[in-house]
Chains A and B, each alone.
Chain A
């Protein structure tokens, strides 16, 4: 039987670490997606995700359930990512297009189904590089908005909850970020 978030949170608040383990394993990759997009460094992202869950556990007694658990986790993760970037001024960046696995183990997705056309493969890799280059040039807040919307599929309301800003701000940041990304791809046709 699979428990819902609310039930698991209640159990974890009562000290049940096993319930918290289920929550961690349920959300670890979703949180990692946003943090990796924010930091563009797998090792740093894992450290921040780890810290996100530790903070969440310690603050669990104060979690009233007014918002959903995952928006609360996203909020902690985004804030920690922004703090991390401020702290690590000399942080080095691994370009995402180099982090994406190559060869036989490459997961489906960016590589076109069947992998027939080398031209399409090359173009897609170039597109990925351009998209991430454009993401890198965004401010952390713009980056967070576009990742939460495009990758995680959060609604405007949820994003405003995560970032603690109005829906108007969310829409304006999203528009700006999309325009930047779009402009970066124009020359690729």
Chain B
């Protein structure tokens, strides 16, 4: 039994707390109450909704894959090495977490747009135009979502016991072998959690995407953007799409809770200690 005050919760705390619960839960309840359950199937089967769903799924998955390929090495660099300017770099990497996504979209446009300082050369040398293409959707999502993966994996690397990496080195393993055969398996729970967070964030991306990629149905109109436009023309479809996103979020939450619970025991390195 833990100590602490008995059951009584003072009213000045209880009332605001209940208000907070109502504020967070009631809108979601409204979504469920207002949902066109009968026509849900047909609303989702409409061409626009299906297109948006497909586009969102593959762009979010691609953005997560790119984040894994380039973000995990960056997390390793931040966690396992020291170099000048590292703190600044960590701050820059974390910036997209707090930056308004629309600002990220503007920044991407200024860099990769037809007149941007990079986009100009992509255009004149390779004939590539990125903005307002599915590639732009993936880039916008990666820009906004990758930091979630990086900070989760970096945290996992920091809390992982480096003794295992030392042991691997004494057994003749070079750094890349240590990374592949020891480090990655040990931080697998963080990798999983980071990837799920990253994917969920990419799936919900709106501001940077609409700024940098626009909203062309079938090409760059992702689910959140489709919801936004459908609200004016076809509210039932908007609600149906919102329900899908809500369901995905709940699944992500449950899967993360599970991972974090298992991750906690795995990260402590078994019981051979």
Q: Note whether A and B form a binding pair.
A: no
Residues of A bordering B, CB below 8 Å: none
Q: Identify the B interface with A (CB < 8 A).
A: none
